Amino acid sequence: MFAEEQHGLIDGHSHDDIKRGERFFKGLLPFNFKGQSCVSCHNLVATDTLNWNPSAMAIAIKYADRDFESFKASIEEPVGNKLTVVHAGINIGEEDLKTVKAYLDNMAMVGPKPIKPSINNLLIFLFFGMLITWALLELIFFRRIKYRIIPVIVLLGSLGYQGKVISEEAIKLGRSQGYAPDQPIKFSHKVHAGENGIDCKYCHHTAESSKSAGIPAMNLCMNCHVLIREGTNSGKFEIAKIVNAVENKEPVEWVRLHNLPDHVFFSHAIHVGVAKLDCQKCHGPVEEMNLMRQNADLSMGWCVNCHRETDVKFKENGYYESFAKMHEEMEIGDLASVKAEDIGANDCMRCHY
């Protein structure tokens, strides 16, 4: 009974196995592999966006349901070219490898360790708060410092800092410019749109006709990936996820980057289909991004100011014939160009209803 409590089984693995596996994985118990360990390539915590190798968690989830043999095969006799190259020379005993699998299985159960919150900024903020308190007390009661200007400067400086933090945070509120989360599949726009020159609208094909540009359905990916099964950077692991998703009918849960607030209604069709704007105008140099990043801050000011600067296809599009008087003015030269703003693009009702 005692033994069982101490070595309680989790999902069929003992604590000891898991601990031992962890040490192997992290290289604390070295095994013969060019001086590296698993963790050198397979991150435990996602930090490096350019690491094309699958993360520990991804591997864990993939192999959680599979038996040890397939796990072992992927390490010792991998199928993919890339994996064959990098995994060449791994030498680890079978029992030890089993503990690694146990460790990974356990990880798939409990999830990655939470990142401890860093409290530096808060500490700085509180420190300035304390400075304010001190300066006030000094000014009112202690009066120990001869040059009164010192506490006054400290007071104003601290208040300024706190004000700055608060206003910056307030502006950032609900914004996420630069947001570039890891995606469940290491999909690179650089590889697809940049290096291979695939047109944006091949995948996001509803951009011209619907409000939504559309995230391509997995069967669209399969148009190409039915043949292309191994990538130059990522090997087979990432592409296998697509195949797996289609075969098992498990939809891929992408993390959304561009989240407009729910009270904003945006239509891709108007901007791409009618105004013929380039995708890059808002989304930035997507063809250069390995990891998709939110380019613009998507603030209301950003929208509104673009409307103030951008010309409408006034003569080209038949719809604008309703604006008869403006056409007349254009004919006689009173009106050089029509900005989006001039036809009411900055009205509330255009986006909020």
| Ranges within 232-261 binding other proteins (CB under 8 A) | 245-246, 249, 251-256, 259-261
Measuring CA to CA, how many Å separate 211 from each of 198, 199, 265, 274, 321?
22, 19, 9, 12, 23
Distance, in Å, from the CA atom of 67 to the CA atom of 53, rounded to the nearest integer, reads 22
Mark residues 16-35: x for contact with other proteins by CB under 8 A, - for none: --------------------
Residue 160 as a binder of other proteins (CB under 8 A): the answer is no
Return the SS3 of 61: helix
Per-residue burial over 111-122, b = 16 or more CB atoms within 10 Å of its CB, e = otherwise: eeeeeeeeeeee
Residue 299 as a binder of other proteins (CB under 8 A): the answer is yes
Cβ distance to other proteins smaller for residue 6 or 209: 209
Residue 284 as a binder of other proteins (CB under 8 A): the answer is no
Region 175-194 residues binding other proteins, contact defined as CB under 8 A: 176, 178-182, 184
Q: How far is the CB of 306 from other proteins (least distance, A)?
A: 11
CB of 242 closer than 8 Å to CB of 225: yes
Residue 318 as a binder of other proteins (CB under 8 A): the answer is yes
Residue 167 sits at φ, ψ, to 5 deg, of: -70, -40
Interface with other proteins (CB under 8 A), residue from 8, 35, 69, 118: 118
- How many chain residues bind other proteins (CB under 8 A)? 105
Which residues, including other chains, have CB under 8 Å from residue 99's CB and lie 6 or more apart?
A: 17, 18, 20, 21, 24
Tokens of 226: 């039915």
Cβ distance to other proteins smaller for residue 29 or 326: 326
Region 43-82 residues binding other proteins, contact defined as CB under 8 A: 45-47, 49, 57, 61, 64
Say if residue 51 is exposed, middle or buried (CB neighbours under 10 Å; 0-12, 13-18, 19+): middle
Region of 28-36, 66-74, 193-201, 214-222 interacting with other proteins (CB under 8 A): 214-222
Residue 150 as a binder of other proteins (CB under 8 A): the answer is no
